[in-house]
Amino acid sequence: MEKEHLESHLSINRRRFLTSLGMGLGGVALGSLLVPDMFSGGVDEETVMAGLPHFAPRAKRIIYLFQNGAPSQLDLFDYKPMLETMHGQDLPASIRMGQRLTGMTANQARFPLAGSYFKFNQYGQARAWISELMPHTARVVDDLCFVKSMYTEAINHDPALTFFQTGAQVGNRPSMGAWLSYGLGSENKNLPAFCVLLSKGKGNGQGVYSKLWTNGFLDSVHQGVQFSSGDNPVLYLNNPEAIDKADRRRMLDKLAALNHESYKEFGDPEIAAKIQQYEMAYRMQTAVPEVTDLSREPEDIVKMYGPDCLTPGTYAANCLLARKLSENGVRFVQLYHQGWDGHDSLPGQIKGQCLDTDQASAALITDLKQRGLLDETLVIWGGEFGRTNYCQGVLTRDNYGRDHHPRCFTIWMAGGGIKPGVYGETDDFGYNIVNNPVHVHDFHATVLHLMGLNHEQLTYKHLGRRYRLTDVAGNVVKDLIA
């Protein structure tokens, strides 16, 4: 009786408990029927997802013109007449709002605002402001989307650069290009999916390290391959003297056989990766000379990219090479151009930097467009952060320096499903964002989206958790997408 009472109170007994439990398990079992490969073990989501876009992509390839050292948005694109009228006056505390500064200006007694030395004009259908330093960019303005409201978390070059490239400030994560190589694979089996080109301007420069194009914890086939400017664009690719192609083939076959043995014994995926890399290098031996040969470019192209574009190692030559690589199916071509770090003598330095880069950047857009490739190639131009509206060091009417400024800066993108125009807005001082902020994670999410990848689904399991390029943040900025 007492038992019955208790049972009725709980309205439950063992039988009913087990029934309910069984029903619950039944629900799970039903659901599991809907998940392919649920119990097949070996196949994890990485292998299921890798190699194909999650949805129809807008862009197939990316060319990222990284302006290393952080170009001054205030002297190029973010026109602030207020700074000219208040030239020399102190930055109001209400604008700075206790923002942390770098060690280079934190001890400055004053923060005098510095108006740009350069003249601005409005161009194109979006009436975008562009300074006189970028006349060629101004000509292609109708293809560009300026994001004036980018912001980042880091305040010094290396962490900021690493953040932009890998989605984290510490340098052990895969780079953007590596993620795309992992997510989409290579288009052309004869070339790496991720290539890196370096150049240097005369302005104050900051280092670029190979950790920026690392594969991180991803398979090492996804690592960026650096093309150098000498006679051998890819180092150690040529056969040594007295070894011909047939010898090389035989050697690789034997080596692959040995590696297969070793793989069977240890099962280390890096061994498989190594075999693939040798094979890729073998194919690159014929593909790379064809791609890197700039001498057959017609004179129109040379004029378009500028007279330096055939001189190896210049930014212009790298832009031209980037087009050729991209045209040949390289997913992600990453350029770095050093020399934008204008802590002092900024007007002089930025003038030189623009002379070196403006024409070729614009030419790349036009060139892709005239071949019918711009709509499937996403071109990105930008640095790792912005520069301050106040002067570092001594301010004169025609000379000033600007320190690092992570709170707002401008980048532009073009092609590949990007909607041309101007997005986002900063305040009259060019110090804070007032409209439509875009975080670096948002930028990553948007770029992946354009490539047909859901940034939340492009994951890789490492050290017990799934990693993403956007880590645990990031929103696709739909307004940027055409």
Partner 1 sequence: MSRWKSFLFNITITLNVLLVFLLFFESRIAIPAWLQVAGRMHPMILHFPLVLVVMYAVLNLRTNKKEAGTNDQLLLLLAAFSAALAAAMGFFLSREEGYEADVLAWHKWPGLILSWFLLIWYVLSPRINTSGLARWSVSIASLALIFITGHEGAGLTHGSDYLLAPIRPQQSAPAVSEEEAVVYTHLVQPILQSKCISCHNSSKAKGELIMETEAQLRKGGKSGVLWDSTAADLGLLLRRIHLPLEDKKHMAPKGKTQLTDEEMAILAQWIRKGADFNLRVASLDISDTLRILARTRLGGQQNEAYTFAAADPSVIKELNTVNRVVTEEALFSPALSVSFFNSQLYKPQQLKELSKIKEQIVSLDLAHMPVTDQDLSTISELSNLRKLNLSFTTITGQSLAELKKLKHLQNLSLSGTQVKADQVRVLETFPKLQTVYIWNTPAAGNSLSLKNIRIETGFRDDTTRLKLSLPVLLNEETVITSATTLQLKHYIKGVSIRYTLDGTEPDSISSPEYKGNEVIDGNVLLRARAYKAGWISSDLLQASFYKSGYRPDTVIFQQLPDPSYPPNPTLLTDLIKGETNFKNGNWLGWRTTEADLLLPLQKPSLISSVTLSTLIDLGSYIFPPGVLQVWGGDEPGKLRLLGEIKPEQPNGLQPVYLRGYTCSFSPVTVKYLRVKAIPVRKLPSWHPGKGDKGWIFADEILIN
Looking only at residues 153 through 192 of this chain, which bind partner 1 when binding is defined by CB under 8 A? 187-191
N-term to C-term CA, the chain: 73
Q: Taking the complex as a whole, how short is the minimal distance between the CB of residue 297 and partner 1, in angstroms?
A: 9
Among positions 7, 18, 32, 258, the unique one binding partner 1 when judged by CB under 8 A: 32
Q: Taking the complex as a whole, how short is the minimal distance between the CB of residue 265 and partner 1, in angstroms?
A: 29
| Residue span 215-254 as binding mask against partner 1, x where in contact by CB under 8 A, dash where not | ----------------------------------------
Q: Which is nearer to partner 1, 406 or 420 (CB)?
A: 420
> For residue 169, which phi and psi values (nearest 5 degrees)?
-80, -25
Site for partner 1 contains 308 (CB under 8 A): yes
How many chain residues touch partner 1 (CB under 8 A)? 71
Among positions 299, 398, 464, 472, the unique one binding partner 1 when judged by CB under 8 A: 299
Q: Which is nearer to partner 1, 57 or 386 (CB)?
A: 57
Q: Which is nearer to partner 1, 52 or 434 (CB)?
A: 52
Site residues (CB under 8 A) for partner 1, limited to 344-383: 363, 366-367, 369-373, 375
E strands, 169-315, are 194-200, 225-227
Among positions 46, 158, 327, 425, the unique one binding partner 1 when judged by CB under 8 A: 327
Angle 413-419-423 from CA coordinates, rounded to 5°:
70
Q: Which is nearer to partner 1, 119 or 296 (CB)?
A: 296
Give the helix/strand (H/E) hosting 7: helix 2-10
Site residues (CB under 8 A) for partner 1, limited to 437-466: 452, 457
Give the CA radius of gyration of the chain: 27
Site for partner 1 contains 394 (CB under 8 A): no
- C-alpha closest to that of 179 among 190, 193, 169, 191: 193
CA atoms within 13 A on the CB side of 30: 6
In angstroms, the Cα distances linking 77 to 6, 206, 435, 438 are 77, 22, 16, 16
Tokens of 82: 């207020």
Among positions 34, 106, 170, 472, the unique one binding partner 1 when judged by CB under 8 A: 34
Site for partner 1 contains 207 (CB under 8 A): no
Q: Is 82 exposed, middle or buried (0-12, 13-18, 19+ CB in 10 A)?
A: middle
Distance CA 443, CA 435 (A): 16
Q: Taking the complex as a whole, how short is the minimal distance between the CB of residue 81 and partner 1, in angstroms?
A: 24
| Residue span 269-288 as binding mask against partner 1, x where in contact by CB under 8 A, dash where not | --------------x--xx-
Q: Which is nearer to partner 1, 283 or 461 (CB)?
A: 283
Site residues (CB under 8 A) for partner 1, limited to 109-148: 125, 142-143
Sign of CA dihedral 67, 69, 75, 79: positive
Q: Which is nearer to partner 1, 23 or 463 (CB)?
A: 23
Among positions 36, 42, 230, 240, the unique one binding partner 1 when judged by CB under 8 A: 36
Q: What is the DSSP letter of 418?
A: B
Among positions 53, 88, 135, 352, the unique one binding partner 1 when judged by CB under 8 A: 53
Q: Please count the other Cβ atoms lying within 10 Å of the Cβ belonging to residue 52.
A: 13
Contact status, residue 73 vs residue 409, Cβ threshold 8 Å: yes
Site for partner 1 contains 55 (CB under 8 A): yes
Site for partner 1 contains 258 (CB under 8 A): no
CB contact set of 124 (below 8 Å; sequence gap of 6+):
138, 141, 142, 144, 420
Among positions 6, 18, 43, 48, the unique one binding partner 1 when judged by CB under 8 A: 48
